[in-house]
Amino acid sequence: MPIRIGANPIGWSNDDLLEIGGDTPLETCLAEAKEAGFVGMELGNKFPREPNALKAALAPYGMALVGGWYSCELLTRSAEDEIKAMRAHLDLLKAMGVNVFIIAETSNAIHGNRAMPLSKRPHLKDAEWAEFGRRMTQVADATLAEGVRVVYHHHMGTVVQSEADIDAFMAATGPSVHLLLDTGHATWGGADPAALATRYRSRISHVHCKDVRPAIKAKSDAGDWSFLDSILGMGDELGVYTVPGDGCVDYTAVFKALPGYSGWVVVEAEQDPKKAPSLPYAKKGVAHLRQALAAAGLA
């Protein structure tokens, strides 16, 4: 599959804080996404979860379904129970022709708690990685048998946040488990996304592209802000995340580290649309990604 540029609706609304962008109709999100140059969308809280209804919502805008976040709880339940819990989500993805299953451990995550500073995020002990990885691999084996590849989403405020966490997770999981490389979460978490791309190229099957504002990151780190306060911004300030080309991530370097990559690259911003209007930022992100992909020889 050639590289295609998709959007995460977090640029128009926010699943962690529903009132952010909550008054923007789904039709507006999709129309603006098409105008910005996207050809696919990931699921968000405004999308129907029945295949025929979802196809009917996307079709007028020529949009494919790219995938959708799934919150797992493998630290607290068995792989068998997780596979049962994810059944409806997996069936929806299969019905829509999606071949990646975006998953993240959230049983003890804090990113959705606006009152919880990021310093309080959970950590796994060295001895806990093996069992977590075994359960994740069992889940990934099961989805792959149905034609859908698990791509793990490392994320601020979770047990897989830092570069060391990512390395431990990848070492603990089998080849059926791939990585969703998120440039924004990697950068904010202290990793170089291009280095991660180089290290795990053979196991990267999905890419999320959001940029980082270094000045806001520095304030968040120094003030020990929560994840939600950081991405929404304090007062009139913009948040820590923005679209590609508006921050410090070197996307040409990232894509050069992914030779032969085919699949989706997904633009995100996680901004408050009242502070940062979605459409102009989306257009800027698409334009920058196209330039970076071309410079890296992938377009």
pLDDT tens for each residue of 16-38: 555 555 678 899 999 999 999 99
Q: What is the pLDDT of residue 282?
A: 95
List C-alpha distances in Å: 101 to 49, 90, 132, 136. 15, 7, 17, 12
Which contacts (CB < 8 Å, 24+ apart) does range 228-234 have? 228/16, 228/17, 228/111, 228/112, 228/113, 228/114, 229/114, 230/118, 231/270, 231/271, 232/17, 232/20, 232/271, 232/272, 233/271, 233/272, 233/275
pLDDT at 270: 86
Q: What percent of the chain has pLDDT over 90?
A: 89
Calculate ∠ Cα 13-17-23, nearest 5°: 45
Cα distance between residue 54 and residue 291, in whole Å:
31
Please give the average per-residue pLDDT across 100-127, as a whole number: 97
Query: For the chain, what is the mean pLDDT?
Result: 94
Per-residue model confidence (pLDDT) at position 20:
58
Q: How far is CA 246 from the centre of its chain?
A: 18
**Burial status of residue 163 (CB atoms within 10 A of its CB: 0-12, 13-18, 19 or more):** middle
Residues 138, 79 contacting (CB under 8 angstroms): yes
